[in-house]
Chains A and B, each alone.
Chain A
Amino acid sequence: MTVHTPIYLDYSATTPVDPRVAAKMIPFLTENFGNPASRSHSFGWTAEKAVEEAREEVAKLVNADPREIVWTSGATESNNLAIKGAAHFYSATKGKHVITVATEHKAVIDPVRELEREGFEATFLQPEPNGLIDLEKFKAAIRPDTVLASVMFVNNEIGVIQDIEAIGNICRENNIIFHVDSAQATGKVAIDLEKLPVDLMSFSAHKTYGPKGIGALYVRRKPRIRIEAQMHGGGHERGMRSGTLATHQIVGMGEAFRIAREEMATENERIRMLRDRLLKGLQEIDEVYVNGDLEHRVPHNLNISFNFVEGESLIMAVKDIAVSSGSACTSASLEPSYVLRALGRSDELAHSSIRFSIGRFTTEEDVDYTINLMKSKIGKLRELSPLWEMHLDGVDLSKVEWAAH
């Protein structure tokens, strides 16, 4: 089997649409084009029925009631709606303090920053060096006026899985609304919202082989969680989120989540094998560091820092593989990843990190090609690096005093 370059190893940025998903969507772009809110004719009814079937599929993947699923345009909107919506609704009774984590996605951090501008106070918890939250530190951050906590299920950059059940229980004991960003979790970890003490959960379709432009927010019914709508209008989604529903995209998300439910167990085994193979291969290179805990981690993600290599030249050198350095959403900037910095990585190691994210269409050949490519390119880059030479000579670079120029 031949390998087609560039090899796509950026499944955490976005996934290809599964052909089965695309096939299911297309009829809703052509013959079944009705507006699901049209109640006066069959075009509308057909669309509405498809929307409700998809809602059931999304609910099933996470063991929720379909009535707990609210459609949005994506996880960014879900996160904004959950965080601002719950904080605004409950602040008068509970208070104006919010807890989140320094390694959250920008779509959580930035709405929390917006709440701060509105007069809320926020604690951004620092994770442990392995990326996980220390539950005692979480407890210590709680104040009598804490209204909301938001913790992501699976980190987008390093793939670590937080102990959502334990954090949720702490929130319950302290009467705090608990939001979880699960954009990176669906199809990768089992989610059972009947058991998990979570009040609000964000989902995205395009990280799980569905289309872009569609997501959902889980809003618990028992006990009932209220949110203030962020978008007003036709009163769709029981008033929580107005706007004409994009039927084909919703259908696509439903199908993507159905496939995830049915195939995730076998798929994750295969992906774990590929990831282990990739890890083993890359660990044959000297001075590589895995970022984030390896045990509490989805198999799809491998984030590695290559010491003594300059970040930008690394990315240039590995053009045959499509990977990301830092998360896609911030990779337009040359700042080192804030997630890796929060783990205590130096700027140099953060800069020279690569996130390999593996998925449904990755093959063993892709992995082997990648290993060989990395070995050869890292070798060449280090040959050019005076730092690498100093390291080989036994110089401790952290103790070197550099002359200013």
Chain B
Amino acid sequence: MSTVYFDHNSTTALKPEVLEAMLPWMTQQHGNPTSRHVFGRNARDAIEHARTQVASAVGAQASQVVFTASGTEANNFAITGIAGNNEPMQILTSSIEHPCVTLPAMAMQMRGWQASSIAVDDQCQINMTHLEELLKSPTHLVSVMLANNETGTIQNIARISELARQRKAYMHTDAVQALGKLPVDFAELGVHAMTISSHKIGGPLGAGALVLDKRVDIQPLLYGGGQEKGLRSGTENIAAIVGFGTACALAVNGLGTYASHTSALRQTLESGLRKIGASIFAEHSHRIPNTSFFAFPNIEGETLVTALDKTGFAVASGSACSSDSTEPSHVLLAMGIETDLARGAVRVSLGINNTLAQIEAFLLTLQNEVKRLRDLTAIAA
């Protein structure tokens, strides 16, 4: 039995064209981009080409792209680096951010900073009134994600940037889950810094970037050989960077097809889910087209996810990074969802290769599993 992969917000399969672009850099080509001989120069050229591809995918200049090893690193770099050695003030993050945004902000509290959290409504959207209230205190940096990894909700980042800029604060957005799923334009969003990642868009693990307005004074996270204009030391991961560049180009070209395909699948999925009694989270918000986050009352998400794995469907119960813990999703709690219902959360995140037949098979299996688990619960009670 081959398993159907419905966990694309966790990581995606590498696109064949991406692998093809990477292979020469994993086999014959082996320069260190800092070296001045021909091996090094070829490697340097490949990186600069990828930088152009990444930049043009997000409406930025090539010189604004700083390559990192991951989205996590780029988020840490943005938060810790923009705070830097400035006079401690407030850092605002939303209550639904990935831990790699909130935890660096919390860590800055040890250095005298105040980390505050912006509330969201029951549709996972930023509470603008609360944001404006918080911005009355001197604020150095605001970080709000463009699309949420669990619910898929898209925030009005352009508006949030405007509010932040009015208060002279820097604005960062984590666009890891947005890239390749909706048009992302660095300039239009009005942010100073934006995080993107390769492995969520059919690129390899091991590459990410912080797109950065060069006027921002930022402190590096890694010191050493002075790569990436001194902002990120460490020998460049050429194969991964080349793959990231190719994946960006493909994602932008395929965006229209991707959006119409996944949103059609999701529509079928969600109308089926409603029929069998699921609550769909943030369903009235503006969401990326591939994500559906739902729960069945009185059924543990972990139990359901395990049962689904056994029947051939790979889905997630929350974000992969925190699925070690059995704590209910912090995103759902921030939305005011009851803890019991939140514990039931299951996330389906679709990809371009998923099919209508898979959705139909999934709904059938889900219906059976939900019934089976309900019967078990009834017996236990």
Residues of A within 8 A of B (CB): 6, 8, 10, 13-17, 19, 22, 25-26, 29-30, 33-35, 37-44, 73-77, 79-80, 105-108, 110-111, 113-114, 117, 204, 206, 211-214, 230-236, 242-249, 315, 319, 322-324, 328-332
Contact = CB atoms under 8 A, between A and B. Distances in A.
Given A29-B14, A29-B22, A243-B72, A41 B223 contact: no
B240 A213 contact: yes
Contacts of B317: 40
B32 A13 contact: yes
Given A231-B100, A329-B235, 5 more contacts: A17-B26, A29-B22, A74-B237, A244-B321, A249-B240
Nearest to A318: B37
A44 to B, nearest CB: 7
B63 interface: no
B131 interface: no
B11 interface: yes
A114 B240 CA distance: 29
Interface in B157-209: 199, 204-207
Nearest to A242: B72
Given A40-B309, A206-B235, A246 B3 contact: no
A113 B223 contact: yes
Contact of A232 (B12, B100, B315): B100
A328 B321 contact: no
A243 B225 contact: no
Provide the main secondary structure of the chain A interface: loop
Nearest to A88: B110
B100 A234 contact: yes
Q: Which 3 A-B pairs have the closest CB atoms?
A: A213-B237, A234-B321, A233-B100
Nearest to B35: A328
Provide the main secondary structure of the chain B interface: loop
Interface in B214-252: 221-227, 233-240
Contacts of A213: 69, 206-207, 236-237, 239-240
Contacts of A17: 26-27, 30
B320 interface: yes
Contacts of A232: 76, 99-100, 103-104, 106-107
Interface string B312-324: 0011110111111
Interface in B5-35: 5, 7, 10-14, 19, 22, 26-28, 30-32, 34-35
Contacts of A105: 224-225
The interface centre, meaning the residue of A204, A233, A234, A245 with most chain B CB atoms within 10 A of its CB, is: A233
A33 B35 contact: no
A212 B236 contact: yes
B292 interface: no
A15 B32 CA distance: 9
Contacts, number: 267
B98 interface: yes
A11 to B, nearest CB: 10
Contact of B316 (A25, A38, A332): A38
A235 B236 contact: no
Contacts of A73: 69-70, 73, 206, 234, 237
Contact of B19 (A6, A30, A324): A30
Nearest to B243: A29
Contact of B35 (A110, A235, A322): A322
A123 B164 CA distance: 43
A331 B35 CA distance: 7
14 contacts: A16-B30, A38-B323, A40-B302, A40-B315, A41-B7, A73-B73, A74-B234, A107-B222, A110-B233, A231-B104, A232-B103, A233-B103, A234-B98, A235-B324
A39 to B, nearest CB: 5
The interface centre, meaning the residue of A10, A211, A244 with most chain B CB atoms within 10 A of its CB, is: A244
B306 interface: yes
Contacts of B148: none
Contact of B31 (A14, A40, A236): A14
Contact of A77 (B34, B222, B305): B222
